[in-house]
Amino acid sequence: MKAVSSDDVARILVVGGGYVGMYTALRLQRTLKPELRQHTAEIIVVDPEPYMTYQPFLPEAAAGSISPRHVVVPLRRALPDCDVVIGEVTAVDHAERKATISTLAAEEAGAEAMIVAYDELVLAPGSVSRTLPVPGLADIGIGFKTVEEAIGLRNHVLEQLDIASSTRDPAVRDAALTFVFVGGGYAGVEALAELEDMARYAVRYYHNVRPEDMKWILVEATDRILPEVGPEMGRYAVRELRARNIDVRLETRLESCENRIAQLSDGSRFPTRTLVWTAGVKPHPIVAATKLPLTARGRLKCTATLQVDGVEHAWAAGDAAAVPDLTAPQPASPDEPRAECAPNAQHALRQAKVLAENLTAAVRGGPLKNYEHKYVGSVASLGLHKGVAHVYGRKLKGYPAWLMHRAYHLSRVPTLNRKARILAEWTLAGLFKREIVSLGSLENPRAEFELAAGTGRHNEAS
């Protein structure tokens, strides 16, 4: 059904500027170019950040292999034909086709939030970290979903090496050199592997810290890590990590991290100043606030055409959407629920293409198509020149898998500009030594000025 607003402009509101949001808008501005030029269609993209983060490259950004500014894509540059609004959707009244948007400008001025009318709604807010009520987790835990968290973690790890090198207190030194990662999925394993690689390289410049002084601990509640690459490659990844003196603890849970002591379900206790939490994600809170149909896991219930089930003019894809997997075997019983597409980047990118095509058809009054894609496999990096892959039934490990990991994700990074910059950085990284500088002070840029203004120390020194 064609939806046109009262002023004869078909407004498409895209909530979220991540994988699905940005790629959907990117394709829409191509397919709807005639309508955009004639001002009969309008695309509005809302996201709290002015950029899209390519999350598979966060571990390499944390390790210093890629500059942080090259793992993000500016939305305004990538979407010149869209209206990009930097803000957060706080409420959606789909019956009235209106969304409430809180912007930084409104907060600064104490003004009311923006109210945006739309004809078609695309919900692609992504996911947030799924935390558990573990004592102390909220106080010392570090996430790994944003570029800020990745660079903050890099600075933090290097600062711990500085602390360990400059203290004579064995308890402080031991806690500084103990790094605990909770969660054996992509984010946890790749982040740990890349940072351990970086730290192992960095300690050669510390005269009193050796690689074997560091403790790297991976805690996973299930009986294997990297389930996406299959049991065999998962077991290989465990062997590879343990060969690097990384303590992989399967079927183990974090029970407490109060007082900077990580206490595990197997009875182990590790004083630590670093606890990285990557144990799963959950749909963004705005999904529940829309009052649209949800599954038991809190994801938007969708049809194969990527429409919200039973709701006209509402669409969703990606982490926040439960999309039926048409390539999976039919349930044995009609009462059994159909398998859903996994919430990963491979499905998100392909869903965005179908979503844009169906939105174009909805605006122009054409037929819709189903999303159908058979999962072809996964690749994962285990540090520089190391990796695992299970793609199209073929199993790769070591350097070939690592090379495939880089090639695949380079091909998926949006815009030629970012592809070229990342490739150039990889080339230069192969020719020169790693950077081991910690720029933790960037997180508090006014600290130096506040010190000067408060004590006058710099004036006296001059």
What is the residue-level pLDDT of the chain in tens, covering all 462 positions?
A: 333 344 678 999 999 999 899 999 999 999 999 999 999 999 999 999 999 999 999 999 999 889 999 999 999 999 999 999 999 999 999 999 999 999 887 766 667 788 999 999 999 998 888 888 999 999 999 999 999 999 999 999 999 999 999 999 999 999 999 999 999 999 999 999 999 999 999 999 999 999 999 999 999 999 999 988 888 999 999 999 999 999 999 999 999 999 999 999 999 999 999 999 998 888 899 998 898 999 988 999 999 999 999 999 999 999 999 999 988 887 766 667 778 888 888 888 899 999 999 999 999 999 999 999 887 778 999 998 999 998 888 899 999 999 999 999 999 888 899 999 999 999 988 888 777 777 766 667 777 777 778 755 544 444
Segment holding 353, helix H or strand E: helix 345-364
Phi-psi region of 110 (alpha: psi -120 to 50; beta: other; left: phi over 0): left
pLDDT on residue 162 = 94
Q: What is the CA radius of gyration of the chain?
A: 24
Query: Which one-letter amino acid corresponds to residue 143?
Result: G
Torsion angle of C-alpha atoms 65, 69, 71, 75, degrees rounded to 10: -170
Count of C-beta atoms within a 10 Å radius of residue 379: 24
Reported as half-sphere exposure (CB side, CA atoms, 13 A), residue 262 has a value of: 27
Handedness of CA 345, 377, 69, 225 (dihedral sign): positive
Look at residue 282 in the predicted model and tell me its pLDDT.
87
What is the bridge-based pairing of β-strands 215-219 and 178-182? parallel
Give the separation between CA 374 and CA 354, rounded to whole angstroms.
14
pLDDT at residue 28, rounded to an integer: 96
pLDDT for the residue 5: 43
Residue 170: exposed, middle, or buried by beta-carbon count in 10 A (0-12, 13-18, 19+)? exposed
Q: Which of 341, 382, 62 is nearest to 234 (CA)?
A: 382
| Sheet strands (E) in 257-393 | 261-264, 269-271, 274-277, 281-283, 300-301, 314-316, 321-322, 377-381, 387-391
**Helix, strand or coil for residue 396?**
strand
CA-CA distance, 156 to 276, in Å (whole number)? Answer: 11
- The pLDDT value given to residue 240: 95
The SS3 assignment for 173 reads helix
Please name which of 128, 99, 184 lies closest in space to residue 299, comparing C-alpha atoms. Answer: 128
Cα–Cα distance between 27 and 39 in angstroms, integer?
Answer: 17
Which residue, among 339, 341, 350, has the nearest Cα to 320 in the 3D structure?
Answer: 341
Asked if 309 contacts 322 with a C-beta cutoff of 8 angstroms, the reply is no
Choose among 135, 141, 239, 147: nearest CA to 183: 141
Query: In the chain, what are the helix, strand and coil shares in percent, each to the nearest 5?
Result: 40, 25, 35
Helix (H) or strand (E) holding 72: strand 72-74
The upper half-sphere exposure of residue 356, i.e. CA atoms within 13 Å in the direction of its Cβ, equals: 21
- Give me 442's structure tokens: 């960037």
- The one-character DSSP state at 319 is G
pLDDT at 121: 96
Query: What is the structure's pLDDT at 462?
Result: 40
Determine whether 119 is exposed, middle or buried from the number of CB atoms within 10 Å of its CB (0-12, 13-18, 19+).
Answer: buried
Longest CA–CA span in the chain (Å) reads 81
